[in-house]
Amino acid sequence: MGFLSLGSGMIKGKPHNVYLIAGEDSGDFLGAQLIKALKKQAPGVKIMGIGGPLMEQQGLQSLFPMHDLSVMGLTEVLPHALHILKRILQTVRHIKGIKPDVLVTIDSPGFCLRVAKKIKDFGNIPIVHYVAPSVWAWREGRAKKLASKVDHLLTLFPFEPPYFEKYNLPTTFVGHPLIEQNLVPDQTFRDRHHIPSDALVLSILPGSRVGEMKRLLPVFLEAMEILSKTFKNLHLVFPTLPHLVSSLSCALKGISLPYTILDSVPEKYAAFFASDAALAASGTVSLELAFANLPMVIAYKVSPLTYHIVKRLVKVQYACLVNILLGTEIVPERLQKNCTPDKLAAELEKILESKGTTQTYLKDVQKLLTPPTEEMPSSLAARVVLKLIKKGRE
């Protein structure tokens, strides 16, 4: 019989060895918060795996750069297929060599679940997948496949567990670690970045992947030029990631509007609170904007081939997570053929003229991302992971 001491982080004198895999920036945030919680509940825990700068700040030494995995869509993945396969095999070899007490895969199902399947076949390593595949949106059959690859699922949204529990996959709704962030307005942001007090500040977020940015940024910038004809005092703020700063700077050369590029998480949130509105690519960032109660317009485009295939499979009415959670289009969405400069500018104009009064219910999102217990999401997730280690040792 194994013995678990959460206070010592040891099982029969052996430190916990937790292998984490995150493949994109939203997963990097979840992973970093999970590492903090694991360290608190199990001092001495050893963290290994793949992650980005936030996880590395918590002590992870990534096996390879996380952004090697940050591709999506058929036309984006195919050119990188061989490289991704090599990374899958490299990761599997690494895990088999280490034999960690648990493997935690975070989102990025295209990569993570291929690794999970090979480790499942290897045996004796419990596997937790963190962030449910959106089977409620498309391809519900993935729920059954997931149940054969992992031992436990952690979900961010309260409506997700039943989709997986019917296939006997133990599932825990832990909530979203965004609620753990102490997000408060930064009164010095405009002064710090020399932004006039009377400027209308727009946060512009064309995506965290190179492919997204290439598709969306030109459309976003043209929308800003149109909007500037009505609002003469616009100032654009571009919260982005360190590895995208160079390409973003090059893309912004020659634009007529004043702008500021930010590359840190604290400055991103400070920008949200200091902004009057946001224009963003569809994704987790819509939840971050909602937590700052910032009115937004959500836009997205994929390649024609990807869109042609996906549109036949999607079952949900909305793309924006805020709208999905609230069950209504409180956030304007302009997708694919409707993602045009004039339509984006028109939606932003409505927001700026109404001073955001059309989006006053965004704060309700926080309630839907809070677990039913008093425990914080990352703490609850860490507890599940440690219980699996204990079970595996018994």
Q: What is the pLDDT at residue 272? A: 95
CATH of domain 189-368: 3.40.50.2000
Q: Which residue type occupies 46?
A: K
Q: What is the pLDDT at residue 6? A: 41
The burial of 110, by beta-carbon neighbours within 10 Å (0-12 exposed, 13-18 middle, 19 or more buried), is given as middle
Q: What is the pLDDT at residue 11? A: 46
Q: What is the pLDDT at residue 317? A: 78
Q: What is the pLDDT at residue 232? A: 92
Q: What is the pLDDT at residue 73? A: 45
Strand arrangement of the beta sheet that strand 102-106 belongs to:
46-50, 17-22, 102-106, 127-130, 152-155, 171-173
The DSSP output letter for 197 is T
Q: What is the pLDDT at residue 291? A: 86
**For 302, how many CA atoms within 13 A lie in the half-sphere containing its CB?**
16
Among 305, 314, 312, smallest CA distance to 333 is for 314
Those residues with Cβ within 8 angstroms of residue 102's Cβ, 6 or more apart along the chain or in another chain: 16, 17, 18, 19, 125, 126, 127, 128, 385, 388, 389, 392
Which CATH superfamily, name and number, covers 4-175+371-393?
Answer: Glycogen Phosphorylase B; (3.40.50.2000)
Supply 147's token pair: 């149940």
Cα–Cα distance, 353 to 148 (Å, whole number): 52
In which residue ranges of the chain is pLDDT below 70? 1-14, 70-80, 136-138, 303-316, 356-363, 392-394
Residue 148's Cα: distance from chain center in Å?
25
Q: Quick check: helix, strand or coil at residue 191?
A: helix
Q: Quick check: helix, strand or coil at residue 102?
A: strand
Helix pair angle (81-98, 109-122), 10° resolution: 40
Kindly report, as residue ranges, where domains of CATH 3.40.50.2000 are found in the chain: 4-175+371-393, 189-368
With b for 16 or more beta-carbon neighbours within 10 A and e for fewer, the 27-40 pattern comes to bbbbbbbbbbbbbe
Among 67, 54, 43, 55, smallest CA distance to 19 is for 55
Q: How many CB atoms lie within 10 A of CB 329?
A: 13
Q: What is the pLDDT at residue 314? A: 60
Among 310, 323, 309, 311, smallest CA distance to 362 is for 323
